[in-house]
Chain A
C-alpha cells in the first residue's frame, strides 16, 4: 500500500520524540484528577444521604468529557498551524512542490498526521471516561457518539489551523491566527444570536443565529447532555437566546450539527489546498486558468 509520504515522515519523527507521550500522560493525569475529585465529592454526599447516588457518576462522566473537549480544542490548532508554515520556514515546502506531489496530498498528509495524534490521545483517555459504562449509565453506542463528536471538533479546529498555516505567515503568526479562528468558532458563532436578542426586529427568525450549529462546544455539550442530563441542552440554549427553532430541528440537532461541521471542515480543507496553490504565484494562476477555460468553451 502506498501510504502518504508526508504522513509517513510525520509519524516517523513523532515516534522518535516524547511529545506525544508527554501529552497523553499530562491530559490523562488531569482527567484522572477531575474524576477522583468528583468521586470524593460523591462519596461525601452519599455519606450524608446514606444512599448510593449513581447519578453522580454520570455527572463526573460529563465533566471529564467536557474537560477532554477543552484540552483537544486547545491543542488542535497548534498541532496543524505549523505544518505548512513550518515547511515554508525551513524552505522544504518548495521542494515538496517541486516533486509534483499534489497540493491535496500535501494537505491531507499533514492533516492525517495530526488527526492520528488526536486519535491516539482520545483512545488513551477512554479509561478515564469509561466508568459510567460499568454502571450502565451510558451505552457503548453513546460513548462512540461522544468520540465522534470529539473527533469532528478536532477535525474542524485542525483544518482551521492548517488553513492559517497556508496563508504565508511565519509559524508564530499562523499559530496566533489559528487561535483567533478558534475563538471566533467557539465564541464568535454566538454573536449573531446575541445581537438578535435585544431587538425584537430580528427576534424569532434570525437565521444567522443558526451559525451556532458550527460551534463544536454546543455539539459536544448536546451529546453529553443527552447522555447524562436528559437532552435538555440545545433546546434550553435556543430558548435562552430567544430563538424559535422547530422541534424537528432540535430532535436531530446532533447529527445535523455533526454533518454541518464535517462539511465546514471539508470546505476549509479545500480552501487550504487552494491557498497553498496560491503560494505559487496566486492570481496569475487563477487568471490563466480562467483564460484556458474560456478557450475551451
Chain B
C-alpha cells in the first residue's frame, strides 16, 4: 500500500514542528526516516497513524485521503511508538489479548494470532510474565508484536532500535527484514544510520520540519558520493602536493590528516582523472586516490549539519572504526 503525505504542516501552539512536509512511501518499500533530534520525525509519524491531526495538509493511503480518528486508518497501520506504551499490570499474553480485542479479534482467532506473533518475535516463553518484568529489548519486541496483531499492511516504527544492545539490534533487524520480505510497507525512523542503510530501500532526510532529501537509497547515495571529499594518500612530496592543490580553483577546501589530504573537489570524473595525472606528472608520490564512499552518516551530517568540519569528523570516525 502506498502512503503519501502532502504539504503537512503542524503547529504546536506557535511552534512550527512540521513545515510543509511531503513524502511518498511506495508499496513494499522500507523507508528510512532520518533527521536530527527535534526535526519532527515522531510528529510526522503520529500524523501518519492518525493519532495527531495536522494543522494543514493531507495524508492518503493508496490515493484515499484519511482523517485523523478514522477507524479505517487504524486497521491499515501498525504503529510502534518511541515510548513502549505498556500496561505494567498485564501479563504478556493479556497485553496482546487486550489489543486484539481493540481490533475486534476474540476467541480462537485472537489466540492463534497471538501465539503466532509471540513465536515470531521470540517471546513465547514469556507469555505468562508481567510486562513490567520484561527487559527493554523484550518490551520493544512485544511492542512490535502488538503493532502486528491486526496484520496491517503498513508498519510505522519510531526509533525501534534505540536503547538496544548490538545483539538485540541484530535480532530486531532480522525480524524487520523478514517483515519486509513478507511485503509489508514500512517507515522506520532511527538514529542508527548504519542499521538503516543496511535495511532500507528508500530514505527521507528531514530537518526543521521539512524534507531535505528523499528518494531511493541507491540514488541518494550516488548523489551524495559525488559531493564527498577525495582522499589522496601521499607517499612523498606532501608539501608540494598541498601547494599545487591550493592553486586549483576546483579544490574548494582542503584538510590534512597525517599523510592523507582530503579535498572538497568541484569537478566531474574527468576532472578527477586530470587532477590525478597532473599530480603524478609533478612528481608527487601518490599511494591512493579515491572519492570517499558515501555513508548515510556523511549524507546526514552534510544535509543537517553545517560545513566540512563535520564531514572530516565523519571521515575520521569511519577510520577509527576501521582500525578497531
Contacts and interface: CB of A to CB of B under 8 A. Distances in A.
Q: Do A and B come from one complex?
A: yes
Contacts of B55: 281, 284
Given A9-B98, A13-B89, A97 B106 contact: no
Given A98-B79, A99-B103, A280-B52, A16 B69 contact: no
A280 B10 CA distance: 11
B84 interface: yes
B54 A281 contact: yes
24 contacts: A2-B104, A9-B87, A12-B90, A90-B86, A90-B87, A90-B88, A92-B85, A94-B79, A97-B50, A98-B49, A99-B99, A99-B103, A100-B71, A100-B73, A100-B75, A100-B103, A103-B69, A280-B50, A280-B69, A281-B52, A281-B53, A281-B55, A284-B54, A284-B55
A229 interface: no
B56 A284 contact: yes
A252 interface: no
Interface string A80-120: 00000000001110111111111100000000000000000
Contacts, number: 90
A8 interface: yes
Interface in B93-151: 94, 98-99, 101-104, 106, 146, 150
Nearest to B79: A98
B323 interface: no
B309 interface: no
B236 to A, nearest CB: 61
A94 B74 contact: no
Contacts of B67: 288
Given A8-B101, A280-B68, A280-B69, A98 B77 contact: yes
What is the interface of chain A mostly: helix, strand, loop, or mixed?
helix
A152 B49 CA distance: 38
Interface in B1-32: 10
Nearest to A92: B85
Interface of A: 2, 5, 8-9, 12-13, 16, 90-92, 94-103, 277, 280-282, 284-285, 288
Contacts of A94: 46, 49, 51, 79, 81, 85
A9 B85 contact: no
A100 B70 contact: yes
Interface string B45-65: 010011111111000000000
A9 B96 CA distance: 11
Given A92-B86, A99-B103, A285-B69, 19 more contacts: A5-B101, A8-B101, A12-B90, A90-B85, A90-B88, A91-B83, A94-B79, A94-B81, A96-B102, A97-B50, A98-B74, A98-B79, A99-B150, A100-B75, A101-B71, A101-B74, A280-B51, A281-B54, A284-B56
B81 A281 contact: no
Contacts of A5: 98, 101-102
A277 B79 CA distance: 19
A82 to B, nearest CB: 13
B101 A280 contact: no
Contacts of A91: 81, 83-85
B69 A97 contact: yes
Nearest to B104: A2
B276 to A, nearest CB: 55
Contacts of B71: 100-102
B257 interface: no
B248 interface: no
B102 A101 contact: yes
Nearest to A94: B51
Contacts of A92: 85-87
B106 A2 contact: yes
B212 to A, nearest CB: 24
A96 B51 CA distance: 9
A9 B53 CA distance: 28
B277 interface: no
B167 interface: no
Interface string B224-251: 0000000000000000000000000000
B73 A284 contact: no
B153 to A, nearest CB: 14
A95 B52 contact: no
